[in-house]
Amino acid sequence: MKRRLSFAAAGLLVVAGALFLWARSHPLDVNDLVVRSRLRLAGARRLQAAGLEALVRDTCVPGGPCRCVALVHGLGDSAETWDRILLDEEGAPFPRGVKVYAPNLPGTEGSAAPASPEGYRTREMAGALRSTLEPVCPRWTVAGNSLGGWVAAWLAADWPEGVERLILLAPAGLDDPTGLSEETARTLADPTPEAIQAFLGKAQASPAAFPKAVLKQIAGRIRSRPSKSMVLAIRKEEYLDESLSAVRAPTLVLWGEADRVIPPSQGPKFQKGIQGSRLELLPNCGHLPQKECPAAVRKAVFGP
């Protein structure tokens, strides 16, 4: 008996050691497990609709009021970028009477790839997003970050009856004379660990250094998504400079003051182009407000 217990204990130690080594060498995967577990415990689930996978959290009850919110991620990112918006935060529980869809854009994670490369154009992805959202709710609040903001703006322009509010978080989509937007697109189309460290330094208000192993994992993850296809699909005619006037939804543009990925100087152009829109600059915040400044994003999306 003692011998069997000794063998069992030794086996458990071997397994524990292997798990420890795996966790040390795969920190992103460990973080994913934690985030996904928290999302499941909070009641979020993954659904497939019209070819797109979405993270969904729904606190609406039959017969009660229900607001529908769509959250659109950026280039090289995924729906899980919105975890701090989907989860209960200390002092800011997830609201009641809200149905939130955070879709993965075409070709990302569990979402089907488009039938042709043209399907990665921003306006085409907005059409795919509409096909997912329209059967669920007739009216939506739509928030999008970076390239997701570009997609969200096209969705609002082409589906005015379906988008009742628009929130743009450091959106892409305008001609950028500084060249920063193009540099970002090149970086995320074919990322290296060194380029990712430089990108994160520009994206964060308080840049942190990451071990090379982590940077290598981040770069590999971005390469596994259709970032390059999305960049190659960009066409000048889909820039928003001459099309913002088609957006009729009440619009809030949020921009981190520390954003060095897409310059905050683009913010007034969006504000001027969309009639009646408001621009708010966020201090101590970079290119990913949903990560660095979730309280401001939650307030914009759900109200105070």
Among the listed residues 46, 52, 170, the one whose alpha carbon sits nearest the alpha carbon of residue 100: 46
Report the C-alpha gap between 133 and 102 in whole angstroms.
10
State the pLDDT at residue 18: 36
Domain ranges of the chain: 33-302
Residue with tokens 């009856």: 161
pLDDT of residue 93: 87
Q: Please tell me the predicted confidence (pLDDT) of residue 26.
A: 54
- What lies within 8 Å, CB to CB, of 93 at 6+ separation is none
User: In this predicted structure, what is the pLDDT of residue 91?
Assistant: 73
pLDDT the model gives residue 4: 56
What was the pLDDT predicted at 209?
A: 83
Counting as low any pLDDT under 70, the low residues of the chain are: 1-27, 304
Q: How many CB atoms lie within 10 A of CB 57?
A: 20
Phi, psi of 134 (to 5 degrees): -60, -40
Strand 163-169 and strand 251-256: the pairing is parallel
Is 112 exposed, middle or buried, given 0-12, 13-18 or 19+ CB atoms closer than 10 A?
Answer: middle
Q: Give pLDDT, residue 12.
A: 42
Query: Hey, which residues does 169 pair with through a beta bridge?
Result: 145, 254
Based on DSSP, count helices (H) and strands (E) in the chain, helices before strands. 12, 8
Q: Per the CATH hierarchy, to which homologous superfamily does domain 33-302 belong?
A: Alpha/Beta hydrolase fold, catalytic domain (3.40.50.1820)
Distance in angstroms (rounded) separating the CA atoms of residues 215 and 192: 8
